[in-house]
Structure 1
Amino acid sequence: MITKVKIQGYRKYKNFTFRPNPRLNLIVGSNESGKSTLTEAIALALTGRINGRTAAEELNPYWFNIEIVEKFVRSRTAGKRVTWPEICIELFFEDCDELQQLCGAINSDVPTNACPGTAMRVFPDPEYADELEEWAKRPSNLLPVEYYKIDWRSFADTVITSRPKHLATAIIDSRTVRSTTGVDYHMRYILNDGLKPAERAAISVAYREIKASLSNSVLKSVNDRMAEMHASLHDQPISLSMDQSARTSWEGAVTPHVNNVPFSMAGQGQQAAIKISLAMSRHSESAAFVMIEEPENHLTYTSLTTLLQRMESLAGEHQQLFITTHSSFVINRMGLNSLHLLGGSNPYKIDEMEESTVRYFQKLPGYDTLRMVLSNKIVLVEGPSDEIIFERIFRDKYGYRPMELGIDVISLHGLSFHRCLELCAALDKYVAAIRDNDGAEPDELTKPLEEFLVEGRREFFIGKKDHGGTLEPQLLFYNGEMALREVLGISENANLSTWMKREKTEAALRIASAQKSIIPPQYMLDATSFIHG
């Protein structure tokens, strides 16, 4: 298993260290956070290939970190002699007998670390030193990669020319399903896994005979006529015959079908699910590393459920899985304790969460935990009416909706504050949690959650008991009945308190759209000031 990944100078990563879990790794981050770049770098150092081609064939100036290149260009333009930008991707493996040939201490760890590993390095080729110096007289941000060299070595300092068999890797990208490539991909694995050598030979013989029969039947009359036509032109008449060479073998003419429809014409969701299932099934006994890009793409809720169940059953005990995702359903179902959050200089990992909390979210796979994971600042409220009214109070005070300032207001819909705050604490998020006192003293409600609260970072806001047990009586206390009737448009004949409790969401919507602002309950106003900063 991979124990550590170090990436220097590759694309968005200047100096990046990633410590994966032994089995499952869920890689989550906002757009452009580097999820695909991370899995791409791991695959590059594992296989020496990218997008199905060798690293040397794919090398281009955009591999290099932009900041490093820009700094180099500025320094060279100013006449300073600085080292050329380089790329280094190192994979550190656990010590095991199968990888002893990769074991050594030629890596960037300090102090010295002797362990199995591979390193992919891209650096200026010394043979082109003169050409590089000539180019550097008028440098640009597009490095002359033609003068660069790629070196793929083990930590034992031996050159790797092809992927070691114990580093077998399955790379499954469900985001795009190209028709021809998709057919070739699946056909290859179906043929390898589903057919015995004798069956392959029998199909090949039958296919050759079918082609020969075409030559001796349908094409015979055509050839007879062509022979007469060309007899007066030359001694060797032209004839048509089915190609029997290896390049036209039966494998290229057979295509998989899904429910009697060619695979390439099946829906993208169907193609993605089959692609993942076949590849994992094919590799379950041989691939040590499986990388899956966004398995949720093109799939409905029920289809994704089926796929995740299939993935869990197909994953081998010895396999290390890397899954990038934008789906709360995936991270809840697969387990929040496997989560790696990208976005900063180094990934944030949830090291310790109660197992009961992990199971809690697994039982609620539809809940949008991804919003909590990706938000910079969070306001947790009990229900939709609290959410609507908080947003109005915030907008009245600051002139913007919370989301416009990077603050996500999340309704728990009856979920446990304890579970959600534990997740937020594990990710060290800024949180304002707002709840009703329900007739209890605020300190009594806060005490069980103190382990997750940090002054100035995660705080609880609860209305005073004598101002009302829920949001509606709190609003009445601060605004008075007459003013609140005016805002809500409720006649004097209706019991305002009863109506507000019965029509919680409607009351909140009327407050949110009213021309006149309300006087906010103090605990909500305090939460607004806290989360705004």
Structure 2
Amino acid sequence: MITKIKIHGYRIYKDLTLEPNPKLNLIVGANESGKSTLMEAIGLALTGRINGRSASEELNPYWFNSELIEEFVRQRKLGNPVAWPEIRIELFLENRDELQKLCGAINTDKPTNACPGISIRVLHDPAYSKDLDEWAKNVSPLLPVEYYSIDWRSFADEPITNRPPQLTTAIIDSRTVRSSTGVDYHMRHILNDALQPAERAAISVAYREIKASMSETALKNVNERMAETHASLHDNPIVLAMDQSARTSWEGAVTPHINNIPFSMSGQGQQASVKIALAMSRHSERTNFVMVEEPENHLTHTSLTKLISRMELLAGEHQQLFVATHSSFVINRLGLDGLHLLGGAKPLRLTELKPETVAYFRKLPGYDTLRMVLADKIVLVEGPSDEIIFERIFKDKYQKRPIELGIDVISMRGLAIGRCLELCAALDKTVAAVRDNDGVAPDELRTPIQEWLADDRRAVFIGSVDHGHTLEPQLIHYNTESQLRKILKITDRADIETWMSREKTETAIRIAVAEESIIPPTYLLEAASFIHG
């Protein structure tokens, strides 16, 4: 298993160190946070390939981190002979017997760390030193990668030419999964383990024989007629025969079928599901690493549920799984304790959640946990009516909606406030939690959740018991009855508290769109001030 990943100078990453979990790793982050880049880098180091092609074929100037390139160009223009930029990806591996050939201390760890591992570097080729020096006289942001080479080595400093058999890897990118040929590159690698060498040989021989038989069947009459036609022109007439060269192997003509439909013509969601299932069903002794990009793509909720259940079932004991996702359903169902949040100064790994909290969210896979994970600041409220009213109070106070200032107001929708605060504390989020007192003294309600609170980061705001047990009587306490009736457009015949308590959402909507503002309860104003900062 991979115990540590270090990336230097590759795309978005100037320097990144990530310590993955032994089994499940859920890679999440906002747009442009580097999820796909991280998956790409791991795959590149494990296989020496990217997008199904060798690294040397895909190498281009945009692989290099733009900030490092800008600094290099600036220093060179100032006349400082700084070193040429390079890319380095290192994978530190578990110290197991079968990986000892990869063991060594040629890595960037300080102090010296002797362990199994592999590194791939993109660095300037000394053979082109004169060309590079000439290019450097008029340096530009686009590096001349033609003068660079790929160096793929083990930590024992031994060159690697092909992926080591101990590092069998399956890569499934559901965003670009469609194949137009018989068996595409990824599918071929996935199917390799499904066929024994003898079976592959037998298929190849049978396919050649079928092609050869065409000469004695459909092509025979054509060749005889052509021989007669051309006999007077030259001694060696042209004949038609099936191509038996390697480029026309059975893999280009034979294609998997699902329900009698060619795999390449199946829906993209089904293609992704099949590839994931095939990759994971090869079991841990044959596939060490499975990497899946956005398994939720092209799948309905029901299909995604089936796929996640299958992934849970097929995961091998010694199989390390990396999943990049934008789906709350995926992270809830597979387990929040496997989450790595990208986008900050360093990846945030959730290791402090209680097992029962992980199980709690797993039982509620439909909850939008990812929204909580990715928010800058959070206001937790109990339901949609609280969310609507808080948004109006905040806008009246600051002339902007909370989201415009990076504050996400999230309804807990019946979730336990303690579970939500525990997750927010693990993520070190700034949170204002707002809740009803339900007839219980606020200090008594804070006691069970005190461990998740912090004076400057996380606080709970609760209305006074004297002013009512829920939001509606609190609003009535702070506003005159006539004012509320005018805003809510209800007659004197209706009991205002009964109507508001029965029509919670309608009450909130009418307050939100009213021209006249309400007087907000003190605890909601305090929550707005706290989260605004």
Moved more, 216-225 or 61-70: 216-225
Would the aligned equivalents of 1:186 and 1:256 in 2 still touch at CA under 8 Å?
Answer: no
Q: Would you say 1:10 and 2:10 are equivalent positions?
A: yes
CA-to-aligned-CA distance 1:107-152 (integer Å, 9 cap, x gap):
2111222222222222222232222222222111101112223222
Q: What is the correspondence of 1:137-216 to structure 2 with a 5 Å cutoff? A: 137-180=137-180, 183-185=183-185, 188=188, 192-195=192-195, 203=203, 207-208=207-208, 210-216=210-216
Counterpart of 1:28, as a letter, is V
Question: What residue in structure 2 maps to residue 436 of structure 1?
Answer: 436
User: What is the deviation of 1:224?
Assistant: 3.7
CA 1:234–1:68: 2 relative to 1, 3 Å: same
Residue type at the aligned position of 1:472: E
Q: Which residue of 2 aligns with 1:43?
A: 43
Q: After TM superposition, list the pairs within 5 Å mapping 1:59-458 onto structure 2.
A: 59-180=59-180, 183-185=183-185, 188=188, 192-195=192-195, 203=203, 207-208=207-208, 210-282=210-282, 284-458=284-458
Structure 1: distance between partners of 2:186 and 2:162: 23
2:478 pairs with 1:459: no
Q: Match for residue 30 of structure 1?
A: 30
Question: Residue by residue, what CA displacement relative to the aligned partner does 1:180-219 show, whole Å, maximum 9, x if unpaired?
Answer: 3673357636864555566556655654554455433433
Partner residue of 1:522?
Answer: 522
Aligned amino acid, residue 236 of structure 1: N
Deviates further, 214-223 or 317-326: 214-223
Cα 1:423–1:174, aligned 2, differ >3 Å: closer, same or farther?
same
Query: How far apart are residue 234 of structure 1 and its match?
Result: 2.9
**Contact 1:4/1:20, CA 8 A, preserved across alignment:** yes
Cα distance in structure 2, aligned partners of 1:115 and 1:508 = 61
- 1:299 Cα deviation (Å)? 0.8
CA distance in 1, matches of 2:182, 2:477: 65
Deviation per CA, 1:319-368: give whole Å up to 9, x if none. Answer: 11111111111111111111110001210011111111010000001111
Residue 46 (structure 1) shift = 1.9
Q: Which moved more, 1:213-222 or 1:366-375?
A: 213-222
What is the CA–CA distance in structure 2 between the aligned matches of 1:502 and 1:104, rounded to whole Å?
Answer: 70
Partner Cα distance (2:2, 2:474) in 1: 55
> 1:270-319 CA distances to partner (integer Å, 9 max, x unpaired)?
11101111122235431211111111111111111111111122221111
CA–CA distance in structure 2, aligned partners of residues 176 and 19 of structure 1 = 28
The 3 A distance-change label for structure 1 pair 178 and 504 is: same
How far apart, in 2, do the equivalents of 1:520 and 1:491 lie? 22
Q: How many corresponding residue pairs? A: 533
Deviations 1:471-519 (A, max 9, x none): 1011111111000001011111111111101000011011111111111
* Distance in 1 between residues matched to 2:283 and 2:51, nearest whole Å: 19
Q: Secondary structure at the match of 2:8?
A: strand
CA distance in 1, matches of 2:182, 2:424: 40
Contact in 2 for aligned 1:2/1:20 (Cα 8 Å): yes
Percent identity, aligned pairs only, is 72
Mean CA deviation greater in 181-190 or 337-346: 181-190
Structure 2 distance, partners of 1:85, 1:203, is 48
1:149-176: per-residue Cα shift (whole Å, max 9, x none)? 3222222222222222212211111121
Contact map agreement 2:52 2:186 (CA 8 A) in 1: no
Q: Contact conserved, 2:194 with 2:282, CA < 8 A, in 1?
A: no
Change over 3 Å in CA distance of 1:72–1:455 after alignment to 2: same
| 3-state SS, counterpart of residue 71 of structure 1 | helix
**Alpha-carbon spacing, 1:127–1:359, altered in 2? closer, same or farther (3 Å):** same
Q: Could you tell me how far apart the structure 2 residues matched to 1:280 and 1:410 are?
A: 36
Judge conservation of contact 2:283–2:314 (CA < 8 Å) in 1. Answer: no
Give 1:260's aligned amino acid: N
Distance 1:254 1:106, change over 3 A: closer
Q: Which moved more, 1:9-18 or 1:45-54?
A: 45-54
State how far apart, in whole Å, the 2-side matches of 1:524 and 1:123 are. 57
Q: 1:74 to 1:256 in 2, by over 3 A?
A: same
- By how many angstroms is 1:525 displaced? 0.9
Aligned AA (1:102): L
| Residue identity in the other structure for 1:436 | D
Question: Which deviates further from its counterpart, 373-382 or 293-302?
Answer: 293-302
Q: Which residue of 2 aligns with 1:21?
A: 21
Unmatched 5+ residue regions in structure 2? none
Is the Cα contact below 8 Å between 1:511 and 1:518 reproduced in 2?
yes
Contact 2:11 2:37 in 1 (8 A): yes
TM-score by length of 1: 0.95
Per-residue deviation at 1:231? Answer: 3.4
Distance 1:88 1:216, change over 3 A: closer
**Structure 1: distance between partners of 2:253 and 2:102:** 41
2:99 alignment partner AA: L
Distance 2:195 2:119 in 1: 37
Counterpart position of 2:511: 511
Contact 1:189 1:278 in 2 (8 A): no
Counterparts in 2 of 1:411 and 1:79: CA distance versus 1, 3 Å = same
Residues 219 and 111 of structure 1: is their aligned pair in 2 closer, same or farther, counting only changes over 3 Å? closer
* 58 and 196 in structure 1: CA distance in 2 versus 1, 3 angstrom threshold: closer
Secondary structure at the counterpart of residue 109 of structure 2 = coil
Return the alpha-carbon distance in structure 2 between the equivalents of residues 168 and 486 of structure 1.
Answer: 70
**Conservation of the 8 A alpha-carbon contact between 1:348 and 1:427:** yes
Are residues 93 and 483 of structure 1, via their aligned partners in 2, closer, same or farther at CA, if it must alter by over 3 Å?
same
Tell me by how many angstroms 1:261 deviates: 1.3
Say if 1:296 and 1:304, in contact at 8 Å, map to a contact too.
yes
Q: 1:19–1:232: structure 2 CA closer, same or farther, 3 Å change rule? A: same
Tell whether the 8 Å contact from 1:170 to 1:283 is kept in structure 2 after alignment.
Answer: no
**Letter of the 2:521 counterpart:** P
Name the SS for the 1:380 alignment partner.
strand
Please give the secondary structure, in 2, of the residue aligned with 1:444.
helix
Q: Give 3-state SS (helix, strand or coil) of 2:176's partner.
A: coil
Q: Which residue of 1 aligns with 2:56?
A: 56
* Cα distance change of structure 1 residues 95 and 343 upon mapping to structure 2, 3 Å threshold: same
Contact 2:433 2:459 in 1 (8 A): yes
CA distance 1:275–1:525, shift in 2 (3 Å)? same
2-side partners of 1:371 and 1:110: how far apart? 37
Q: Matched residues in 1 for 2:191 and 2:135: separation?
A: 50
For residues 196 and 104 of structure 1, what CA distance do their matches in structure 2 show? 34
C-alpha distance in structure 2 between counterparts of 1:164 and 1:202, whole Å? 27
Kept in 2, the 8 Å contact 1:189–1:282? The answer is: no
Structure 1: distance between partners of 2:266 and 2:392: 47
Q: 1:30 to 1:167 in 2, by over 3 A?
A: same
CA distance in 1, matches of 2:335, 2:242: 56
Moved more, 320-329 or 168-177: 168-177
